[in-house]
Chain A
Amino acid sequence: DAGVTQSPTHLIKTRGQQVTLRCSPKSGHDTVSWYQQALGQGPQFIFQYYEEEERQRGNFPDRFSGHQFPNYSSELNVNALLLGDSALYLCASSLGDARPFFGPGTRLTVL
């Protein structure tokens, strides 16, 4: 049984570019949440998707958007990248409100 998977593992972009990160949830899970973890800090909630809708959003600008597909996989899109967007992006999946399981993360570096 595969756990949560994320792609790519690492990514380097330049300021102003756009990026798409992907997440496949653990088998049987229907809810996907995204977190941003800057270096030396705890993860910060970006948003959660359930039934292909954004159910809750954290304190992030509109440059951060997402999508959930019918197979429950999800994408995180970030437009107009800033240096401060450099972070580890974590995807977590769950079955409804049950315990979340975290993926390996995508390390984004913005130059």
Chain B
Amino acid sequence: ELKVEQNPLFLSMQEGKNYTIYCNYSTTSDRLYWYRQDPGKSLESLFVLLSNGAVKQEGRLMASLDTKARLSTLHITAAVHDLSATYFCAVDSPDDYKLSFGAGTTVTVRA
């Protein structure tokens, strides 16, 4: 069964500094997704990564994928308060139809 591990689970960020969230998965994957979730809300899609070496950027967030290492990273540049949320990675296995999610990384940005 596909396992997805995120770390850290909690991240306290200082405004203006850079941070990285890691997502490891256990088997071959077709696609990797990053989502943002605000408290009590649904999942907001951030990135879809399809191939080895894929890099996508939106504002202060940049996601990359290394399929050989089975690792994706979400890099946050110059953190701002608006980025406080829980971030999930999810992996799509070629062997089934479901998304397997990590446990999430809860980010708090402090002044």
**Which of B59-67, B71-79, B93-101 participates in binding chain A?**
B93-101
Rounded to whole angstroms, the CA-CA distance of A72 and B70 in the bound complex is 34
Partner of B104, one of A31, A41, A90, A100: A41
Partner of B43, one of A43, A97, A107: A43
Rounded to whole angstroms, the CA-CA distance of A87 and B10 in the bound complex is 21
**CB within 8 Å of A: which of B46-90?**
48, 88, 90
B11 within 8 A of A: no
Minimum distance in angstroms from A3 CB to a CB of chain B: 10
Minimum distance in angstroms from A23 CB to a CB of chain B: 12
> Nearest B residue to A42 by beta-carbon distance?
B101
A101 within 8 A of B: yes
Specify the main secondary structure of chain A where it touches its partner. strand
B43 near A48 (CB under 8 angstroms)?
A: no
Which residues of B sit under 8 angstroms from A97, Cβ to Cβ? 97
Partner of A45, one of B35, B41, B88, B100: B100
Rounded to whole angstroms, the CA-CA distance of A69 and B95 in the bound complex is 26
Partner of B98, one of A33, A41, A50, A107: A33
Rounded to whole angstroms, the CA-CA distance of A41 and B9 in the bound complex is 11
Cβ contacts B16-53/A at 8 Å (1 or 0 each): 00000000000000010101000011110100100000
> Nearest B residue to A102 by beta-carbon distance?
B43
> Nearest A residue to B1 by beta-carbon distance?
A59
Minimum distance in angstroms from A46 CB to a CB of chain B: 9
B103 within 8 A of A: yes
Chain A contacts to B: CB under 8 angstroms:
31, 33, 35, 41-45, 48, 50, 55-56, 58, 88, 90, 92, 97, 99-105, 107
